[in-house]
Amino acid sequence: MPDRVTHNILAEIVEIASDAVVCMDVTQHITFFNKGAEAIFGWTPEEIIGQRIETLIPERYRGSHASQVEEFGRSKVRARGMGERREIAGVRKNGEEFPAEAAISQIGQGDDIVFTVALRDVTVRRRFEQRQQFLAEAGEKLASSFGSSETLNQVARLAVPTMADGCILESRVGNGFLAGAAAHVDPDIEEMLDEISPAGARIPPKGHPLTEILNSPSPVLLKSNAASRLVAASASPAYLKAMRAMNPESALFLPLVAREQLIGALTLFRTTGSFDRDDVEFAEDLARLAALALDNARLHDTVRASLRARDEMVGVVSHDLRNPVAAVKMLSRMMLRAPEMSETEARDNIELIAQAAEQMDALIRDLLDVNRLDGGKLVISPVPVDPFVLLTDSLQTLRPLVEEKVISLDLQIEASLPKVLADRERIQQALSNLVGNAIKFSPAGSKIVVGARGDADDVIISVLDRGQGIAAEHLPRVFDRYWQSSRTDRQGAGLGLAIAKGIVEAHGGRIWIESRPGEGTTASFSLPLA
């Protein structure tokens, strides 16, 4: 092949190469700039030819680069390949820096030397490698975190600031979401995001991306103006406040799916700029990891909770069931051994045996109810009921207890209250647990008031006593199973309030307790209107 043809072919190859090919003379001024270089650096050959090579190098490397090239010029080495040199950085016309790999060769000698640099932009590869490494580390961290809340926090910490300025992780609760963890580069905003979860589960309104995710679990990206779109579709005041303060430009909503179930959502926010296709893929990888970790953590939580429930139940059975059993054993033996027992004495003993049996029966019923609550098997059949009838009927069965302790019981029911939706038996059970406590913790001669009043969308039923009250530090625990402020009395196993709460919540109501030590306690619950 004639030299000229070979030359043209080579020139053509250099022109179409996607790498940058840049030649410079001995004074390190650019003499040649191919199409690849134009695409990577953003300069045209007309603009750049004649300028020093340093124009293409970030300022901080300029000095060392010039001396390295000079040294290379003095050496006997004719070329250094891409792999032989550590990664370097280039700078584009718009000032953006990028990671690169470069090869260099020299032809000629002395003042006629020509250096040729072939340079490859490795931004994409570098980003891919970093992301792979991030995901590998994230996987390790998540695998070693225990419990769902710790796992959610871990994910939030991983996502910010690597992938976003802010993030919220939520668990799915029925048709809504419950924020479980949040993070933001600005601690003040993070605090606001943390306020979303105590407000409880939110059913996302129509038009909110989380509603779309509930309908079909695929990512939803709000590329721009995310803040105004989210503010427009926010139902919860805490969420609204956080969105206003954070003012995100873009938001990416990702479903967390495990074992084909939507178990939560991960939302990433950016204050400026949007997420590109690459970011979305990366975020989807993190969401997959997070879903898997969350699912494992939940299984772990469930196993732990079941073991604890089993231990507690064994504890209660051995503690609270043993006493009445012992009483029955003792009394019946006594009666067998003393055939001449008077009729009155025998009746008294039988009375005590019956009481013990009653106590055991009540305890077993409570344990079974707690078990039902655990398995979500507490079935209620609510029907429209007049609150007045509901209360007077329920209290009828409790009268003897009240009279026994010489306590007066007042009913204060607002006139013409609308009907509520209630499963009579279950609400009677809940109410009798509350009134039972009021009687138990009130001194003889004091007064208990059972009331009902109307509220916006429900009726509130309350039980007020003038008993010993509950210390402020104990209040958050009263609805916990098996919890009692003192374990000395034998009436009850600390299940009454937990069961009452389960029953009320199954009706779609709320239950709460207010108390002042030494003054008394008011337990209240709401029931939805029929």
Binding site for ligand ADP (CB under 6 A): 433, 437-438, 441, 465, 467-470, 478, 483-485, 492-498, 521
**Smallest gap, in angstroms, from Cβ of residue 359 to ligand ADP?**
12
Nearer to ligand ADP, 123 or 522 (CB): 522
**Smallest gap, in angstroms, from Cβ of residue 336 to ligand ADP?**
33
**Smallest gap, in angstroms, from Cβ of residue 212 to ligand ADP?**
42
Q: Find all residues with CB under 8 Å of 467, minimum gap 6, and list them.
A: 438, 441, 442, 443, 446, 520, 521
∠ CA 85-41-23, rounded to 5°: 60
Nearer to ligand ADP, 29 or 490 (CB): 490
Nearer to ligand ADP, 460 or 498 (CB): 498
Nearer to ligand ADP, 166 or 494 (CB): 494
**Smallest gap, in angstroms, from Cβ of residue 523 to ligand ADP?**
6
Tell me, what DSSP letter sits at residue 465?
Answer: E
Contact (CB, 8 A) for 166 and 248:
yes
Contact (CB, 8 A) for 262 and 235:
no
The three-class DSSP label of residue 176 is strand
> What is the identity of the amino acid at 528?
P
- Only one residue has tokens 């055939």, namely 339
**Smallest gap, in angstroms, from Cβ of residue 412 to ligand ADP?**
17
Dist CA 464 CA 469 (whole Å): 10
Residue whose Cβ sits closest to ligand ADP: 492
Cis preceding-peptide flag for 58 (omega within 30 of 0): no
**Smallest gap, in angstroms, from Cβ of residue 440 to ligand ADP?**
6
**Smallest gap, in angstroms, from Cβ of residue 362 to ligand ADP?**
10
Encoding tokens for residue 355? 């009481």
Q: Find all residues with CB under 8 Å of 285, minimum gap 6, and list them.
A: 131, 135
CB neighbour class for 105 (10 Å; exposed up to 12, middle 13-18, buried from 19) = middle
Report CA dihedral (51, 54, 59, 60) to the nearest 10 degrees: -170
- Only one residue has tokens 């039902």, namely 372
Dist CA 449 CA 334 (whole Å): 43
What are the helix (H) ranges across 375-419? 387-396, 399-404
**Smallest gap, in angstroms, from Cβ of residue 477 to ligand ADP?**
8
Nearer to ligand ADP, 469 or 509 (CB): 469
